[in-house]
Amino acid sequence: MDRLKTARALALLTPALLMAGALGSQYLGGLYPCEMCHWQRWPHYAAIPLALLAILLRGQAIGRLFLALAALAILTSGAIGAFHAGVEYGWWEGLTSCSRVADTGGNVDDMLRNLMTAPVIRCDQAQWTLAGISLAGFNAIFSIGAAFTIFGLMMKARKA
């Protein structure tokens, strides 16, 4: 088993699938993201090209560096997700209370109308849960688990 190949695949698939789920739930499911949801997305957006570079530069030291950076980005998203889940569960207070999602295109009247009709999404209330776990909680579980798995595979490959 090629551990680095598995690690690279996991580094690409984890953020790609989590972002597909997040964007799908937003655009197909009508679950608008709060500000903290967006914070979780940015590290995944960074992890995807880093993982692609790791795949393209496999066999080189720089490829391992990009793989480690992708894993670190995935871990960062998971940490933000854990913080956000804690805010949703009332374990601690968040940094923001809510955000608005509004289309800023068009003329001034269109922008004002979009702003006034945009849903208010609170960061401290989960819009969806499964078995008591929010989307932020699932991001934390999957991202942190994947990041540690990637780092573990890298360490095992190094010893082999």
Residue 101 located in a structural domain: no
Task: Identify whether the C-beta of residue 88 lies closer than 8 Å to the C-beta of residue 136.
Answer: yes
Residue 102 located in a structural domain: no
Residue 99 located in a structural domain: no
- Which range scores top for mean pLDDT: 42-56, 90-104, 131-145? 42-56
Residue 108 located in a structural domain: no
Residue 111 located in a structural domain: no
Residue 146 located in a structural domain: yes
- CATH code (residue 70): 1.20.1550
pLDDT digits (tens, 9 = 90+) for 108-134: 777 777 666 666 677 777 776 679 888
CA gap 68, 18 in Å, rounded? 19
Model pTM score: 0.81
Position 120 scores a pLDDT of 67
3-state secondary structure of 7: helix
Position 100 scores a pLDDT of 47
Q: Indicate the number of domains in the chain.
A: 1
Domain, as residue range, for 43? 3-94+125-159
Tokens of 153: 């595979």
Residue 76 located in a structural domain: yes
Residue 82 located in a structural domain: yes
